[in-house]
Amino acid sequence: DLTGQIANFHFNHILLNAAGVKCQTTAELDQVLASPYSGSVVTKSATPMVRPGNPSPRYYQLPEELGSINSMGLPNEGFAYYLDYVLNKQTDKPVFFSVAGLTKDDNLAMLMELEQSDFNGLVELNLSCPNVPGKPQTAYDFEATRAILTEVFAFFTKPLGVKLPPYFDMVHFDMIAAVLNDFPLAFVNTINSIGNGLAIDPHTDTVVIKPKGGFGGLGGSLVKATALANVRALRERLNESIKIIGTGGVTSGRDVYDLVLCGADLVEVGTQLMVEDTPVFERLEGELANELDKKNYQSLAEIRGKLQTI
């Protein structure tokens, strides 16, 4: 059994796209959604109005399969485009609608529209975009995170989760969990990219992406240990009712297995989906099945959260 569950939503496959990858246009969303081994699709984080994003080059694949660096800057087709998509799409898969307003009021306005619409999937409130010049990552400010969730849950009744940035300090794990546990969240998604890394091209002695002087969010293999730590630390601290989507550093079925051992209910693929496109879902699920077979497990439930310490 390689299926997953969040709130009352059942997923026939554990893998999804990570928000931002293969999900900006209806053609991309359709491709991920129609992929036989995807659990569903997450829409590109929406702002109220269409945005072109940062200047290119704004995504770079690092050498030696280390991962990627990006500073996309929230290019998206605007909230109404994605609302139209999810309201009119015929699918049995439970869709995630991601919102990433640049202000609290923008987020509240989009969530109010989702609340009043017929949308019946899950909503992911992105509190962790590192790439918009001048805009901090909200979830690094624990009081700002509490403030927005307080206002959201004053009116929002549909299944809602938050996309978190990685944390690097045990006290910060305690602090964010204490905030999140005060709200009826359906899930948290951890991690977003490791914000504001820097990569250098040795031939030109220059940065590799144009925005922000070359600073950008890191993804892929080099973030795996941080993703595992965040899933594990949050699973140890969050209310049981708050499910966890594990994202970050997945290039093999073993990486999916490891995130589930740490407590992930679903797993998302970003950088490696850029590399391989949607066939990655079938390859990873096959490798995951082999990992379980090797250990004589029949289902993910047998390993979920069961990481052993020594």
Q: Which active-site residues does the annotation give?
A: 128-129
Nearer to ligand DHB, 35 or 193 (CB): 193
Q: Based on the number of CB atoms within 10 Å of its own CB, is 198 exposed (0-12), middle (13-18) or buried (19 or more)?
A: middle
196, amino acid identity: N
Nearer to ligand DHB, 20 or 253 (CB): 20
- Could you say whether residue 129 binds ligand DHB (CB under 6 A)? yes
Which residue among 4, 39, 67, 73 contacts ligand DHB (CB under 6 A)? 73
**3-state SS track over 114-128:** HHHCCCCCEEEEECC
Other beta carbons within 10 angstroms of residue 206's beta carbon come to 11
Other beta carbons within 10 angstroms of residue 254's beta carbon come to 15
Residue from 231, 234, 126, 128 nearest 176 by CA: 234
We find the least distance from the C-beta atom of residue 42 to ligand DHB, in angstroms, to be 11
Residue from 37, 40, 41 nearest 24 by CA: 41
Which residue among 68, 126, 221, 226 contacts ligand DHB (CB under 6 A)? 126
| CA 238 distance to own-chain centroid | 18
In the stretch 85-124, what mask flags binding to ligand DHB with x, by CB under 6 A? ---------------x------------------------
Q: Where are the alpha helices (H) located in 117-163, listed in sequence order?
A: 142-152
In the stretch 25-54, what mask flags binding to ligand DHB with x, by CB under 6 A? --------------------x-------x-
Which listed range, 128-136, 251-259, 272-280, 289-297, lies at the site for ligand DHB (CB under 6 A)? 128-136
Nearer to ligand DHB, 100 or 233 (CB): 100
Return d(Cα 252, Cα 255) in angstroms, integer. 5
> And the tokens for 228?
């595992």
Residues 181-240 that bind ligand DHB (CB under 6 A): 192-193, 217
Binding positions for ligand DHB, rule: CB under 6 A: 20, 45, 53, 71-75, 100, 126, 128-131, 192-193, 217
